[in-house]
Amino acid sequence: MTITDRDRVVAEAEMKDQPRAVRARFDRRVSRVVIGLDNGLELTFPPRLAQGLEQATPEELGNIEISPAGDGLHWPAIDADLYVPALLQGMFGSRSWMARQLGGTGGRSRSHAKGAAARENGRKGGRPRKLANG
């Protein structure tokens, strides 16, 4: 993703009052990334939730760099980056990556209503075939 000068200026203005990362580590004992913020808050999450960290080894996760502004985290061994303000908003990757994660979760969900709808659709012959345009 390319960041323009304008994007950087806007981000810096938004970051003015935002918490900044002052320390970061990977806790092997509980398999969590732990980020300490300058306001005393600690953010902890499993690496499987973050884009680029899903398949990383504990050794790779253990080497975390904090950007000079405290707004970004970088894992050099796997060339992965996360934006701290986005993490605070629950965004653990790009919009398209997050959409795929949420779509996969929704597709796996099970409920009485979803099961009943699938059975009813099956009685009607299933999902209609897509017609090729052309």
CA dihedral 92, 93, 97, 98 (to 10 degrees): 30
What DSSP state is assigned to residue 127?
Answer: S
pLDDT at residue 107 is higher than 60 = no
The answer to whether the beta carbons of residues 19 and 39 sit under 8 Å apart is yes
pTM over 0.75, yes/no: no
**43 contacts: CB under 8 Å, gap ≥ 6:** 34, 35, 37, 87, 88
pLDDT digits (tens, 9 = 90+) for 51-102: 899 999 999 999 999 999 999 999 999 999 999 988 887 776 666 766 676 6
pLDDT digits (tens, 9 = 90+) for 122-134: 888 877 777 777 5
CA–CA dist 42, 97 (Å, integer): 24
The domains found in the chain, sorted by start residue, are 5-93 (3.30.2020.40), 94-124 (no CATH)
C-alpha separations of 83 from 11, 44, 104, 107, 120 in Å: 11, 14, 23, 28, 44
